[in-house]
Amino acid sequence: MMISSTIGDMAQTFRMRLQTNDLKQRMDQLTLDLTQGVSIQQAKTIPGGLSRLGDLEHDLIILDRRKHAAIEAQFTTNVMQTALERVQSVTNDLAATAVLASPETGPAYLSSTAGQARAALDATVAALNTTAAGRAIFAGADVAGPALVSAQDIMTAARTAVAGAASADDILIALSAMFDPTGGPYDTALYQGGSTSLSPFQLGAGESVALDLRADDPALRHTIKHMVAAALVDDPAAPLSVAERGDLARMAGQGLYGAEQGLVTIRANLGHAESRIEAATSRLSAELNLLQRARNDLIAVDPFEAASELDAVQTQLETLYAITARSSRLSLVAFLR
């Protein structure tokens, strides 16, 4: 009789433990749902809810990746514009100085122009070697960079190229042979970036934007060429007469004014890309908001309903504890008898 009673008590105790664990787990889940305001369990109550939720989660991941790509593209174009603005600024300033050079302006003016040209070249190389998020943005696919060798190395190569030149025309011809040809000295010795551009940024809905501006762009190499020409005005490697030095400075200034139009064009193209990226970023943000709202509708928890259920579960748990305690006392009494 006592053995049968003991087995019954053990079974009842086991059942009560199971019920207790179930209620505790349910109470923990309800507490978490109330805290977060969402619950995956909620989707199970809707026909096809879990399948719909899976589709939404997948779409959210894809859109989030596209938005990050758009933000990265936006950041890169902003950095590019800032760098090109710097190049355009020093180009215009140098052009305005150089075109006024003449034999009448005197050697001091020519030397000052050459010094300004060297500073402009330093600023231009630094701008074109700019990095964004650790990537050289004007080096094409070879983002490890830099895009260009140093300004000092460019001047060293230029001095070698113009050695023996006897006139301003000779110097410009030598510099053109150095900078202009595709696959020439500029491409092989001065430009350090890749020959291919970065892969386009994917913006979704079949839309992409290519930021394929590199430091070997004709407008940029044309600008650098005439900066170098102006920097050579007082260089010992090009021992010209004062008249020829004045001609060289003036011709360099005119070339820089011509190069400025190319800079305007590439900046305008970049601005068009910026506007597309901005529009795509806004569109992707709106799409993400819509999907997030749809997801929340599937898994949103009614706080009043969840609170009521939590109260009910807590009451059940307290009742079960009371029954367990009483049953334990009664079993002990029966056992002692």
Structure tokens at 80: 């590019």
The answer to whether residues 230 and 113 touch, using CB atoms and an 8 Å cutoff, is yes
- Rounded (10°) angle between helices 168-179 and 218-231: 150
Dihedral of CA atoms 147, 149, 152, 157 in degrees, nearest 10, equals: -120
pLDDT at 47: 62
The 10s digit of each residue's pLDDT in 260-304 is 999 999 999 999 999 999 988 888 889 888 888 887 776 665 565
What are the sequence ranges of the domains in the chain?
2-37+301-336, 65-292
What's the pLDDT score for residue 49?
A: 65
CA angle 82, 223, 184 (to 5 degrees): 120
Sign, CA torsion 131/133/135/138: negative
Q: pTM value?
A: 0.75
Q: For the chain, what percentages of helix, strand and coil (3-state, to nearest 5) are there? A: 75, 5, 20
The confidence score (pLDDT) of residue 1 equals 46
Q: In terms of Cα–Cα distance, which of 246, 229, 244, 237 is closest to 108? A: 246
What per-residue confidence (pLDDT) applies to 130?
A: 95
Sorted by sequence, the CB contacts under 8 Å of residue 11 that are 6+ apart come out as none
User: Residue 58 has what pLDDT?
Assistant: 86
Name the stretches of the chain with pLDDT < 50. Answer: 1-5, 7, 330, 332-337
Number of neighbours of residue 10 by Cβ within 10 angstroms: 11
Supply the CATH classification number for the domain 65-292.
1.20.1330.10
State residue 201's pLDDT score. 85
Q: What distance in Å separates the CA atoms of residue 280 and residue 288, rounded to the nearest whole number?
A: 12
User: Tokens for 36?
Assistant: 């977060």
